[in-house]
Chain A
Amino acid sequence: MTNRTPLFLLLVCVQAAFGWTGAAASIGELFAERTRSVVVVEFFVETEVDRNPISVNGIVINDEGVVQLPASAVPSWVPIDQLREFKVHRLGDSKGKDATYLGSDRRHGWHYVQADESLWGDLKPVTDYPLATLATGQSLWGVGVATKDLDFIPYFMRAEVSTIQKLPETIGFATSEITSPGSVLFTDDGAFAGWGSGSLNMERFLTIEGRSYQAFLRKPDQTTSFYVASELVESIGNVPVSPEVNDMTWLGVVGLQTIDDEVAELMGLDSQAAISISQIIKGSPAEKAGLQERDVVLAVDGVPLPRYTPRRVVVADFEQQIADKEIGEEMRLAISRGGESIELAVTLEQTPKLVRDARKKYLESIGLTVREFVVYDNVALKLDLELDEVPGVIVNFVKPNSDAHTGGALTGDLVKEIDGVPVESFDQALSLLEALERDASKREFVMLVARGAETSVLRIALN
């Protein structure tokens, strides 16, 4: 009882501040009000030939209609200029209002969208509510969101706290489905308890006509897991200055692996959590600081890496620590290298251009999109190049049954030569291809492309 008292007082204060009518609002009243904190955001991703519609729930985070969406709302490689026609729907209202994409938060990847001003008055930020302190077994209720043909009507859900785990974000699990992904849940007295995350895969055995199958099933519209509100509110609202800004910090290591308990014991690391590094990107801050492949990271800035269950969560924790730093900030790493302990200081740099931000161009008459070569490609294609080396351009898209497709071009090809001319930069490759497109007398051209360990000479007939 003793620790309930402050919460109760807080609740009374908040209620007083908002001029509620009674000390104990009914669940029905709470539900009606709190559904105003959830919206459905619709948009589509436009590609060279298709439009892929996306519909996702989000929470209102301020009085100016800013909505926070889960990181998974937009695939990370999709360029911002391909995100089109954002619309925000209030629950129970099939008519959407226009919205603007504001960008994503560098630490958690949440996306932000701002609803049209005409909607602001109808929305209620989740930050208006008191925060819940959760206990195992506690009863919670959530707002389920129906599908579009049901006008996104909100519906009531209830379950109890099953367990709470750090992964490394604090994640709550309920005894059964309690909200929709991207929607909210509360305690009985109306305190903000959590934000629905993606639902988990459930292992099931299916028997179809006597044959047994093992299947992993996941509900797209309901979830048992949620970000715990008391921690979530700390990270709410890191809206970037503009969608294009790249303020992500970069260490330049690839293939981080958790050292499992038995290996740690054999390496004499006691119960210390540790991460091994598979690859160091040439020219990266990690290389400049002297980090080497197979180094084992034990501590950051003097603090040993925390032990999680499952162990592999420490990798996400480490990545979060990198993301939490500023560009130019130093990170001290305690390393174990072949049994020897080393301390290194790395100065983090700005993340090199992402695939999402790479320049690209759709050459419609040939039927392919070429994209600037970025560091990601260097890693994915196992090239081990210096940071500024450009081995070619990447085929980012091949239009089905186009000249490029008929000639055998595949998405992901690294174009090394165009008509016998080695590719040295994106601009040069583009001008070569555009000249080919313009030259009406040109009937065919040849591209040398690399695929894995092999190359292939493609002949592209221009029709």
Chain B
Amino acid sequence: MLIKLNPPSIMLKTGSMFASFAALALLGMAFTAQAQTKASFDRLLEAVVRIDVRETSFAGGTTRLVSGVGSGVILSKDGLVLTNAHVVSPRAVDIWVTLANLERVRAELLGWDHWTDLALLQLDMGGVKERRLAFSVARFGNSDSLKPGQTVFAVGTPHGLSRTVTKGIISNKERYYHDPSGIRGYETGFFNTWLQTDAAINPGNSGGPLVNEAGRVVGINTRTYLGADNLGFAIPEKTARRVMQSLAERGEVERSYIGLSPGFLQDLESFYSLDVNQGMLINSVDPGSPAALAGIRASDIALSIDGRKLDGRFPEQIPPIRNLIASYPVGTTLTIEVKRGQQVIPFSVETERLESRVGDEWAFEKWGLTVREVSRSFARELQLSSEDGVVVIGTQSAFPAEKAGLRRGDVISKVNEAALVGLDDLKAIYESYDAASEPDPLLMETLRNRTVSFKVIKP
């Protein structure tokens, strides 16, 4: 072993002056590059922040404040901080950002996109200027040019610890992963693949940057596999940069929806007698969606959208196709060419605005009841006959709603024989109940897995 590590000096024996010079020159260049890299990396470190959030939760039949901690990265001179949607949500009541110099600054939420798990904050620049605080600004790198095996660093404040750097490599640059209710019930991961890294990512790292050796941001650290070692996931720069721009401009990312659930063809090309590298299997079509109304059916093969050929053979290829559909302006009429049996049929599908399955939430404090509006996609998921009504998300012990027998998951469809269209109807009923000194009991009709029950709310 020792001999191998310290070989007899062959270099000296065969070496020439030239070789020595060349080696020295190379060494010098490397030093310069290293110095640059170090400066750039230091600048990145100064741009990573800790984020403390307090937000409203409607989970337990009343409004409560919950607090959390995450990481973020400053990406503009005017104080834009990119973080995860699961770190800061629209329910945030106050947001504090701890800069690299340990000074704390207030921030507010500019935009939120649970689909890619990204949120954009604006630092209170008035406060920053007044207190003459300084921070540096990180720069995006390029996630497309990453190579598996390349060294990367995760920077953040895991478990609220001060700035922590962990080192790893890119394990996979196109990990496919989506979760229909991953962010407190909100969908995530449908429109992007993920960077996978073995750099240690812990709770509190969320929202911090994944950077290359030059300190350029190539991803936003988001999640890890629980129960696994070193399987961390980051949103690639390519997605983050685009979403950040949209959040800065509009506060949201508007996407188109047509109601197709893609499957992957993997080895089925010959079965469907398809040209190699073309086609996307349609696994499911949401009932009542634009695609369903146009006549597209499950087990059809989509060949192209507006003339763009689709290649959906492997799971990794699905998010880009979903993203292609989503990126058309809402209301666009798409021509989808579909193969059904031996026929190729063009369908015209007008896109709708993509909505989340999670509706608005509210607390009715005197009833000890928290509810969420039934969204179109939630109604579809539960096979409800309509999207009217609200769903119970929490009740408080010994309060009227709990005493009446309402439970999490019950859909309140009627109050006093009148159909409840949405949350606003229930708010109006609550207001008059709240205003009365001796309110009349209310008769609520609820649905639970198609079973109708009646419940009485009284003081």
Q: Report B-chain residues with C-beta under 8 Å of the C-beta of A267.
A: 443, 454
**Cα distance A235–B443 in the bound complex, in angstroms:** 41
Across the interface, name the chain A residue whose C-beta is closest to B452.
A278
Cross-chain contact of A278 among B263, B417, B451 (Cβ < 8 A): B451
**Cα distance A257–B450 in the bound complex, in angstroms:** 12
**Cα distance A73–B149 in the bound complex, in angstroms:** 60
Cross-chain contact of A382 among B284, B405, B450 (Cβ < 8 A): B450
**Cα distance A338–B419 in the bound complex, in angstroms:** 13
Across the interface, name the chain A residue whose C-beta is closest to B414.
A294
Residue A64 at the chain B interface, CB threshold 8 Å = no
Contact present for A417 and B452 (CB under 8 Å): no
Contact present for B454 and A263 (CB under 8 Å): yes
- Give the residues from 169 to 217 in chain A that come closer than 8 angstroms, CB to CB, to chain B: none
Residue A254 at the chain B interface, CB threshold 8 Å = yes
Contact present for A453 and B451 (CB under 8 Å): no
Contact present for B281 and A262 (CB under 8 Å): no
Residue B287 at the chain A interface, CB threshold 8 Å = yes
**Cα distance A263–B441 in the bound complex, in angstroms:** 10
Residue A457 at the chain B interface, CB threshold 8 Å = yes
Of B261, B287, B341, B451, most A-chain CB atoms within 10 Å: B451
Contact present for B298 and A455 (CB under 8 Å): yes
Given contacts A260-B405, A456-B263, contact A279 B381 (CB under 8 A): no
Q: Report A-chain residues with C-beta under 8 Å of the C-beta of B450.
A: 254-255, 278-279, 382
- Give the residues from 442 to 456 in chain A that come closer than 8 angstroms, CB to CB, to chain B: 444, 446, 448, 452-456
Contact present for B284 and A420 (CB under 8 Å): no
Contact present for A266 and B451 (CB under 8 Å): no
- Give the residues from 240 to 299 in chain A that come closer than 8 angstroms, CB to CB, to chain B: 254-255, 257, 259-260, 262-263, 265-267, 276-279, 293-294
Cross-chain contact of B267 among A259, A338, A382, A459 (Cβ < 8 A): A459
Contact present for B452 and A263 (CB under 8 Å): no
Contact present for B451 and A457 (CB under 8 Å): no
Across the interface, name the chain B residue whose C-beta is closest to A384.
B385
**Cα distance A357–B452 in the bound complex, in angstroms:** 29
Q: Report A-chain residues with C-beta under 8 Å of the C-beta of B344.
A: none
Contact present for A454 and B261 (CB under 8 Å): yes
Q: Report B-chain residues with C-beta under 8 Å of the C-beta of A276.
A: 452-454
Across the interface, name the chain B residue whose C-beta is closest to A382.
B383
Across the interface, name the chain A residue whose C-beta is closest to B403.
A262
Distance to closest chain B CB from A316 (angstroms): 16
Residue B230 at the chain A interface, CB threshold 8 Å = no
Contact present for B283 and A457 (CB under 8 Å): yes
Distance to closest chain A CB from B90 (angstroms): 27
Distance to closest chain A CB from B154 (angstroms): 35
Q: Report A-chain residues with C-beta under 8 Å of the C-beta of B263.
A: 456-457
Cross-chain contact of A266 among B267, B268, B456 (Cβ < 8 A): B456
Distance to closest chain B CB from A68 (angstroms): 33
Q: Report A-chain residues with C-beta under 8 Å of the C-beta of B341.
A: 420
Across the interface, name the chain A residue whose C-beta is closest to B455.
A263
Contact present for B452 and A294 (CB under 8 Å): yes
**Cα distance A417–B445 in the bound complex, in angstroms:** 38
Q: Report B-chain residues with C-beta under 8 Å of the C-beta of A266.
A: 441, 443, 456
Contact present for A448 and B298 (CB under 8 Å): yes
Q: Report A-chain residues with C-beta under 8 Å of the C-beta of B286.
A: 453
Given contacts A266-B443, A453-B287, A454-B284, contact A459 B268 (CB under 8 A): yes
Contact present for A455 and B285 (CB under 8 Å): yes
Distance to closest chain A CB from B285 (angstroms): 7
**Cα distance A135–B271 in the bound complex, in angstroms:** 75
Contact present for A257 and B452 (CB under 8 Å): yes
Contact present for B383 and A420 (CB under 8 Å): no
Contact present for A446 and B299 (CB under 8 Å): yes
Of B263, B282, B285, B286, most A-chain CB atoms within 10 Å: B263
Contact present for B284 and A455 (CB under 8 Å): yes
Cross-chain contact of B299 among A382, A448, A453 (Cβ < 8 A): A448
Distance to closest chain A CB from B270 (angstroms): 9
Contact present for B451 and A259 (CB under 8 Å): no
Residue B458 at the chain A interface, CB threshold 8 Å = yes
Distance to closest chain A CB from B391 (angstroms): 16
Contact present for B298 and A453 (CB under 8 Å): no
Across the interface, name the chain B residue whose C-beta is closest to A274.
B454
- Give the residues from 412 to 459 in chain B that come closer than 8 angstroms, CB to CB, to chain A: 417, 441, 443, 445, 450-456, 458
Across the interface, name the chain A residue whose C-beta is closest to B440.
A266
Across the interface, name the chain A residue whose C-beta is closest to B417.
A338
Distance to closest chain B CB from A405 (angstroms): 17
Distance to closest chain A CB from B104 (angstroms): 39
Distance to closest chain A CB from B458 (angstroms): 7
Of B263, B341, B450, most A-chain CB atoms within 10 Å: B450
1/0 contact string of B37-80 vs chain A (CB within 8 Å): 00000000000000000000000000000000000000000000
Across the interface, name the chain A residue whose C-beta is closest to B377.
A453
Distance to closest chain A CB from B5 (angstroms): 49
- Give the residues from 216 to 269 in chain B that come closer than 8 angstroms, CB to CB, to chain A: 261, 263, 266-268
Q: Report A-chain residues with C-beta under 8 Å of the C-beta of B453.
A: 257, 276
Q: Report B-chain residues with C-beta under 8 Å of the C-beta of A278.
A: 450-452
A-side residues, CB < 8 A to B, are: 254-255, 257, 259-260, 262-263, 265-267, 276-279, 293-294, 338, 382, 417, 420, 444, 446, 448, 452-457, 459
> What are 18 of the A-B contact pairs (CB < 8 Å)?
A255-B451, A257-B454, A262-B441, A279-B450, A279-B452, A294-B452, A417-B299, A420-B341, A444-B271, A452-B383, A453-B381, A453-B383, A454-B261, A455-B283, A455-B284, A455-B299, A457-B281, A457-B283
Considering the complex of A and B, which 4 residue pairs feature the smallest CB-CB distances, nearest first? A255-B451, A455-B298, A278-B452, A262-B456
Identify 20 new A-B residue pairs, CB closer than 8 A, beyond the known A263-B455, A267-B454, A382-B450: A255-B452, A257-B452, A260-B405, A260-B456, A262-B404, A263-B456, A266-B443, A266-B456, A279-B451, A420-B299, A446-B268, A453-B380, A453-B381, A454-B284, A455-B284, A455-B285, A455-B298, A455-B299, A457-B263, A457-B283
